[in-house]
Amino acid sequence: MKFSSALLFCFLMLPALVFAQRDMRQDGRRDNRNDNRNDNRNGDRDRQHFGYESSTLSIFSENGEQFLLVLNGINQNTSPQSKIRVEGLPKYDNDVQIIFTDRQTQAIRRKINIADPIDGKAVNMSLKISRGRDGMARLKFHRCSEIDHNYHAPRDEYVMNYGKPQQINTITETTYTDPNTGEIVTQTTTTTTTNDGYDNRNHHSTPPPPPPPPAPVAMDQRTFNDAMQSIKGSSFDDTRLSTAKTILASNFVSVNQVMEICKVFSFENNKVAFAKFAYSRTVDQNNYFKVGSVFDFDSNKQELNKFISNGGR
Protein backbone atom coordinates (compact mmCIF):
# COMPACT_ATOMS: atom_id res chain seq x y z
CA MET A 1 0.00 0.00 0.00
CA LYS A 2 1.40 3.32 -1.06
CA PHE A 3 0.15 5.07 2.04
CA SER A 4 1.08 8.62 1.00
CA SER A 5 -1.24 8.31 -2.00
CA ALA A 6 -3.96 6.86 0.19
CA LEU A 7 -3.54 9.65 2.71
CA LEU A 8 -3.90 12.27 -0.03
CA PHE A 9 -7.02 10.49 -1.19
CA CYS A 10 -8.36 10.64 2.39
CA PHE A 11 -8.09 14.42 2.45
CA LEU A 12 -9.54 14.95 -1.02
CA MET A 13 -12.44 12.60 -0.42
CA LEU A 14 -13.16 13.37 3.22
CA PRO A 15 -16.94 12.80 3.11
CA ALA A 16 -16.39 9.52 1.32
CA LEU A 17 -13.75 8.47 3.85
CA VAL A 18 -15.89 9.14 6.87
CA PHE A 19 -19.21 8.01 5.49
CA ALA A 20 -18.02 5.61 2.76
CA GLN A 21 -20.00 2.66 1.51
CA ARG A 22 -18.39 -0.70 1.03
CA ASP A 23 -18.64 -0.59 -2.74
CA MET A 24 -15.92 2.11 -2.76
CA ARG A 25 -13.54 -0.34 -1.17
CA GLN A 26 -14.41 -2.96 -3.79
CA ASP A 27 -14.04 -0.51 -6.71
CA GLY A 28 -10.72 0.68 -5.35
CA ARG A 29 -9.38 -2.84 -5.17
CA ARG A 30 -10.46 -3.58 -8.76
CA ASP A 31 -8.87 -0.39 -10.10
CA ASN A 32 -5.60 -0.92 -8.25
CA ARG A 33 -5.38 -4.73 -8.27
CA ASN A 34 -2.11 -4.92 -10.16
CA ASP A 35 -0.38 -2.02 -8.44
CA ASN A 36 -1.24 -3.27 -4.96
CA ARG A 37 -0.51 -6.97 -5.48
CA ASN A 38 2.83 -6.78 -3.65
CA ASP A 39 1.34 -4.58 -0.94
CA ASN A 40 -1.41 -7.11 -0.34
CA ARG A 41 1.21 -9.81 0.10
CA ASN A 42 2.99 -7.64 2.63
CA GLY A 43 -0.36 -7.09 4.37
CA ASP A 44 -0.84 -10.86 4.59
CA ARG A 45 2.55 -11.18 6.27
CA ASP A 46 1.65 -8.38 8.67
CA ARG A 47 -1.56 -10.15 9.65
CA GLN A 48 0.38 -13.35 10.27
CA HIS A 49 2.83 -11.48 12.47
CA PHE A 50 0.46 -9.19 14.36
CA GLY A 51 -2.79 -11.13 14.05
CA TYR A 52 -5.94 -9.73 12.47
CA GLU A 53 -5.48 -6.07 11.60
CA SER A 54 -8.09 -3.85 13.24
CA SER A 55 -8.53 -0.11 13.03
CA THR A 56 -7.96 2.59 15.61
CA LEU A 57 -10.15 5.64 16.21
CA SER A 58 -8.92 8.76 18.00
CA ILE A 59 -11.35 11.54 18.93
CA PHE A 60 -10.47 14.78 20.69
CA SER A 61 -12.22 18.03 21.51
CA GLU A 62 -10.57 21.23 20.33
CA ASN A 63 -12.04 23.19 23.26
CA GLY A 64 -11.48 20.51 25.88
CA GLU A 65 -15.15 19.55 26.32
CA GLN A 66 -15.54 16.23 28.11
CA PHE A 67 -17.68 13.53 26.57
CA LEU A 68 -18.70 9.89 26.72
CA LEU A 69 -17.98 7.74 23.66
CA VAL A 70 -20.37 4.98 22.61
CA LEU A 71 -19.21 2.67 19.81
CA ASN A 72 -21.64 0.21 18.27
CA GLY A 73 -23.84 0.50 21.34
CA ILE A 74 -20.96 -0.16 23.77
CA ASN A 75 -20.02 2.56 26.26
CA GLN A 76 -16.24 2.97 26.00
CA ASN A 77 -15.58 5.22 29.00
CA THR A 78 -17.59 5.69 32.18
CA SER A 79 -15.40 8.65 33.17
CA PRO A 80 -15.82 11.65 30.80
CA GLN A 81 -12.73 12.50 28.76
CA SER A 82 -11.71 15.14 26.22
CA LYS A 83 -9.28 12.96 24.23
CA ILE A 84 -9.87 9.26 23.59
CA ARG A 85 -8.17 6.56 21.50
CA VAL A 86 -9.96 3.25 20.90
CA GLU A 87 -7.92 0.35 19.53
CA GLY A 88 -9.09 -2.93 18.02
CA LEU A 89 -12.13 -1.54 16.17
CA PRO A 90 -13.95 -3.17 13.24
CA LYS A 91 -13.10 -1.49 9.97
CA TYR A 92 -16.62 -1.06 8.65
CA ASP A 93 -20.00 0.23 9.77
CA ASN A 94 -18.98 1.68 13.13
CA ASP A 95 -21.80 3.49 14.90
CA VAL A 96 -20.09 6.40 16.68
CA GLN A 97 -22.03 8.35 19.29
CA ILE A 98 -20.61 11.22 21.36
CA ILE A 99 -22.53 12.34 24.45
CA PHE A 100 -21.40 15.58 26.10
CA THR A 101 -21.45 15.83 29.88
CA ASP A 102 -22.53 19.48 30.01
CA ARG A 103 -26.12 18.29 29.28
CA GLN A 104 -26.58 21.24 26.94
CA THR A 105 -24.58 20.32 23.83
CA GLN A 106 -26.51 18.10 21.44
CA ALA A 107 -25.07 14.61 21.05
CA ILE A 108 -23.33 13.61 17.81
CA ARG A 109 -23.99 10.31 16.02
CA ARG A 110 -22.32 9.09 12.81
CA LYS A 111 -21.77 5.89 10.82
CA ILE A 112 -18.05 5.67 10.02
CA ASN A 113 -15.89 3.25 8.06
CA ILE A 114 -12.35 3.25 9.46
CA ALA A 115 -10.40 1.73 6.57
CA ASP A 116 -8.16 2.74 3.70
CA PRO A 117 -10.53 3.67 0.83
CA ILE A 118 -8.27 2.05 -1.79
CA ASP A 119 -7.43 -1.40 -0.47
CA GLY A 120 -9.59 -1.61 2.65
CA LYS A 121 -6.73 -2.07 5.10
CA ALA A 122 -7.00 -0.97 8.71
CA VAL A 123 -5.91 2.59 9.55
CA ASN A 124 -5.69 4.98 12.46
CA MET A 125 -8.33 7.66 11.91
CA SER A 126 -8.33 10.82 13.98
CA LEU A 127 -11.45 12.99 14.29
CA LYS A 128 -11.89 16.28 16.10
CA ILE A 129 -14.86 17.92 17.78
CA SER A 130 -15.12 21.60 16.90
CA ARG A 131 -17.79 24.26 17.13
CA GLY A 132 -19.04 26.39 14.27
CA ARG A 133 -20.16 29.97 14.36
CA ASP A 134 -23.60 28.79 15.44
CA GLY A 135 -22.06 27.16 18.53
CA MET A 136 -23.07 23.66 17.46
CA ALA A 137 -20.56 20.84 18.07
CA ARG A 138 -19.51 18.97 14.93
CA LEU A 139 -17.36 15.91 14.28
CA LYS A 140 -14.73 16.61 11.61
CA PHE A 141 -11.94 14.66 9.94
CA HIS A 142 -8.48 15.44 11.34
CA ARG A 143 -6.03 12.97 9.82
CA CYS A 144 -5.54 9.38 8.74
CA SER A 145 -2.36 7.33 9.20
CA GLU A 146 -1.06 3.78 9.18
CA ILE A 147 -1.54 1.56 12.21
CA ASP A 148 1.23 2.10 14.76
CA HIS A 149 1.97 -1.12 16.67
CA ASN A 150 4.37 0.69 19.01
CA TYR A 151 2.10 3.61 19.88
CA HIS A 152 2.86 5.50 23.09
CA ALA A 153 -0.05 7.59 24.36
CA PRO A 154 0.50 11.14 25.66
CA ARG A 155 -0.46 11.81 29.26
CA ASP A 156 -3.70 13.57 28.36
CA GLU A 157 -5.03 10.78 26.12
CA TYR A 158 -7.40 8.08 27.38
CA VAL A 159 -6.69 4.78 25.60
CA MET A 160 -9.33 2.05 25.35
CA ASN A 161 -9.32 -1.51 24.04
CA TYR A 162 -12.61 -1.89 22.17
CA GLY A 163 -14.98 -4.21 23.97
CA LYS A 164 -12.29 -5.57 26.30
CA PRO A 165 -12.35 -3.84 29.70
CA GLN A 166 -9.38 -4.84 31.82
CA GLN A 167 -9.88 -6.57 35.16
CA ILE A 168 -7.70 -5.72 38.14
CA ASN A 169 -7.27 -8.15 41.03
CA THR A 170 -6.49 -6.43 44.32
CA ILE A 171 -5.09 -8.70 47.04
CA THR A 172 -5.53 -7.53 50.64
CA GLU A 173 -3.93 -9.29 53.59
CA THR A 174 -5.39 -8.85 57.10
CA THR A 175 -3.51 -10.10 60.16
CA TYR A 176 -5.29 -10.68 63.47
CA THR A 177 -5.04 -12.81 66.65
CA ASP A 178 -7.50 -15.66 66.98
CA PRO A 179 -9.31 -15.06 70.31
CA ASN A 180 -9.81 -18.81 70.83
CA THR A 181 -6.30 -20.15 70.13
CA GLY A 182 -4.19 -17.03 70.55
CA GLU A 183 -2.50 -17.76 67.20
CA ILE A 184 -1.71 -15.05 64.67
CA VAL A 185 -3.85 -15.58 61.55
CA THR A 186 -3.36 -13.95 58.13
CA GLN A 187 -6.46 -13.71 55.96
CA THR A 188 -6.13 -12.98 52.23
CA THR A 189 -8.96 -11.32 50.29
CA THR A 190 -9.00 -10.88 46.50
CA THR A 191 -11.19 -8.16 45.00
CA THR A 192 -11.77 -8.00 41.23
CA THR A 193 -12.62 -4.66 39.66
CA THR A 194 -12.96 -3.43 36.08
CA ASN A 195 -11.01 -0.35 35.09
CA ASP A 196 -13.20 0.44 32.08
CA GLY A 197 -10.60 -0.73 29.59
CA TYR A 198 -8.13 1.96 30.58
CA ASP A 199 -4.68 1.39 29.15
CA ASN A 200 -1.86 1.84 31.67
CA ARG A 201 0.38 3.23 28.95
CA ASN A 202 -1.16 6.58 29.84
CA HIS A 203 0.94 6.54 33.04
CA HIS A 204 -1.83 8.20 35.06
CA SER A 205 -1.36 7.66 38.77
CA THR A 206 -4.80 8.99 39.69
CA PRO A 207 -8.22 8.48 38.06
CA PRO A 208 -9.68 11.36 36.04
CA PRO A 209 -11.67 13.90 38.05
CA PRO A 210 -15.47 13.57 38.15
CA PRO A 211 -17.49 15.77 35.78
CA PRO A 212 -18.57 19.16 37.12
CA PRO A 213 -22.14 19.39 38.46
CA PRO A 214 -24.73 20.61 35.95
CA ALA A 215 -25.30 24.36 35.86
CA PRO A 216 -28.52 25.56 37.53
CA VAL A 217 -31.42 26.35 35.22
CA ALA A 218 -34.09 29.00 35.83
CA MET A 219 -37.73 27.99 36.16
CA ASP A 220 -39.46 27.33 32.84
CA GLN A 221 -42.35 29.59 31.90
CA ARG A 222 -45.07 27.22 33.09
CA THR A 223 -43.45 26.71 36.49
CA PHE A 224 -42.83 30.45 36.84
CA ASN A 225 -46.48 31.25 36.03
CA ASP A 226 -47.60 28.86 38.76
CA ALA A 227 -45.17 30.49 41.18
CA MET A 228 -46.50 33.95 40.37
CA GLN A 229 -50.06 32.82 41.01
CA SER A 230 -49.06 31.48 44.42
CA ILE A 231 -47.32 34.73 45.36
CA LYS A 232 -50.15 36.95 44.14
CA GLY A 233 -52.69 34.77 45.94
CA SER A 234 -51.62 36.16 49.32
CA SER A 235 -53.46 39.21 50.65
CA PHE A 236 -50.59 40.69 52.67
CA ASP A 237 -47.25 41.91 51.37
CA ASP A 238 -45.26 40.11 54.07
CA THR A 239 -47.00 36.83 53.22
CA ARG A 240 -46.15 37.35 49.56
CA LEU A 241 -42.50 37.83 50.52
CA SER A 242 -42.36 34.65 52.60
CA THR A 243 -44.10 32.69 49.81
CA ALA A 244 -41.60 33.95 47.23
CA LYS A 245 -38.66 32.97 49.45
CA THR A 246 -40.13 29.50 49.97
CA ILE A 247 -40.44 29.00 46.20
CA LEU A 248 -36.84 30.06 45.60
CA ALA A 249 -35.58 27.66 48.23
CA SER A 250 -36.02 24.85 45.67
CA ASN A 251 -35.94 26.74 42.36
CA PHE A 252 -33.65 29.05 40.43
CA VAL A 253 -34.66 32.23 38.62
CA SER A 254 -33.44 34.60 35.94
CA VAL A 255 -32.99 38.36 36.37
CA ASN A 256 -36.17 39.03 34.41
CA GLN A 257 -38.11 36.70 36.71
CA VAL A 258 -36.71 38.47 39.78
CA MET A 259 -37.91 41.79 38.39
CA GLU A 260 -41.39 40.37 37.73
CA ILE A 261 -41.67 39.08 41.29
CA CYS A 262 -40.44 42.38 42.77
CA LYS A 263 -43.28 44.20 41.01
CA VAL A 264 -45.80 42.12 42.97
CA PHE A 265 -44.82 43.77 46.28
CA SER A 266 -46.55 46.97 47.33
CA PHE A 267 -43.85 48.17 49.74
CA GLU A 268 -40.38 49.18 48.66
CA ASN A 269 -38.65 47.53 51.63
CA ASN A 270 -40.08 44.14 50.62
CA LYS A 271 -38.79 44.62 47.07
CA VAL A 272 -35.31 45.27 48.43
CA ALA A 273 -35.50 42.30 50.80
CA PHE A 274 -36.55 39.92 48.03
CA ALA A 275 -33.98 41.27 45.56
CA LYS A 276 -31.20 40.54 48.06
CA PHE A 277 -32.57 37.09 48.87
CA ALA A 278 -32.95 36.09 45.20
CA TYR A 279 -29.40 37.08 44.23
CA SER A 280 -27.85 33.74 45.23
CA ARG A 281 -30.61 31.84 43.35
CA THR A 282 -30.20 33.73 40.06
CA VAL A 283 -28.57 32.00 37.09
CA ASP A 284 -27.45 35.19 35.30
CA GLN A 285 -26.00 37.29 38.11
CA ASN A 286 -23.94 39.31 35.62
CA ASN A 287 -27.19 41.10 34.65
CA TYR A 288 -28.40 41.68 38.20
CA PHE A 289 -27.84 45.44 37.93
CA LYS A 290 -31.09 45.55 35.94
CA VAL A 291 -33.10 44.75 39.08
CA GLY A 292 -32.45 48.26 40.39
CA SER A 293 -34.88 49.64 37.81
CA VAL A 294 -37.89 48.30 39.79
CA PHE A 295 -37.13 50.59 42.76
CA ASP A 296 -38.66 54.04 43.09
CA PHE A 297 -35.97 55.52 45.36
CA ASP A 298 -32.32 56.05 44.49
CA SER A 299 -31.28 55.07 47.99
CA ASN A 300 -32.64 51.56 47.43
CA LYS A 301 -30.88 51.32 44.06
CA GLN A 302 -27.60 52.30 45.72
CA GLU A 303 -28.19 49.77 48.50
CA LEU A 304 -28.66 46.97 45.96
CA ASN A 305 -25.63 48.03 43.93
CA LYS A 306 -23.49 47.93 47.07
CA PHE A 307 -24.92 44.49 47.89
CA ILE A 308 -23.97 43.21 44.41
CA SER A 309 -20.48 44.74 44.60
CA ASN A 310 -19.85 42.90 47.89
CA GLY A 311 -20.71 39.58 46.24
CA GLY A 312 -24.17 39.30 47.75
CA ARG A 313 -23.21 40.23 51.29
pLDDT at 30: 46
HSE-CB of 105 using CA atoms within 13 angstroms: 24
pLDDT value at position 186?
66
**Rounded mean pLDDT, 124-142:** 90
Does the pLDDT at position 8 exceed 90? Answer: no
Based on the domain organization, do 25 and 141 belong to the same domain? yes
pLDDT at 31: 46
On whether both 281 and 227 belong to a single domain, the answer is yes
**Across residues 82-101, what is the average pLDDT?**
89
Measured in residues, the chain has a length of: 313
Give yes or no: residues 26 and 92 share one domain. Answer: yes
Task: Report the C-alpha gap between 7 and 5 in whole angstroms.
Answer: 5
Considering the domain architecture, whether residues 120 and 53 belong to the same structural domain is answered as yes
Residue 49: per-residue pLDDT: 36
Residues 145 and 260 in one domain: no
pLDDT at 93: 85
Q: Does some domain include residue 209?
A: no
- Number of folded domains in the chain? 3
In a domain, 174, yes or no: yes
- pLDDT value of position 11: 45
Taking the complete model, does pTM exceed 0.75, yes or no? no
Does residue 116 form part of some domain?
yes
Flag whether 267 is in a domain: yes
Q: How far apart are CA 114 and CA 2, in angstroms?
A: 17
Going by pLDDT thresholds of 50, 70 and 90, the confidence category of residue 189 is low
Confidence class for position 159, pLDDT limits 50, 70, 90: confident
Residues 70 and 149 in one domain: yes
> How many Å apart are CA 301 and CA 270, to the nearest integer?
13
CATH at residue 37: 2.60.40.2890
pLDDT at 57: 92
156 and 14 inside one domain:
yes
pLDDT-wise least confident of 15-19, 134-138, 307-311:
15-19
Range of the domain at 245: 221-309
Last residue of a domain, one of 202, 229, 263: 202
State whether 188 and 236 are in the same domain.
no
Report the pLDDT value the prediction gives residue 278, as an integer from 0 to 100: 93
Residues 285/310, Cβ–Cβ less than 8 Å: no
Cβ count within 10 A of residue 243:
18
Q: Which of 36-45, 158-167, 215-224 has the highest mean pLDDT?
A: 215-224
Within a domain: 215: no
Phi, psi of 228 (to 5 degrees): -65, -40
pLDDT at residue number 193: 47
Condensed to tens digits (0 to 9), the pLDDT of residues 18-29 reads: 444 344 344 444
Q: In the chain, pLDDT over 90 holds for what percent of residues?
A: 34
pLDDT in tens, 244-292: 999 998 899 999 999 999 999 999 999 999 999 999 999 999 999 999 8
What does pLDDT average to over the chain?
A: 76
Determine phi and psi for 80, rounding to 5 degrees. Answer: -60, 140
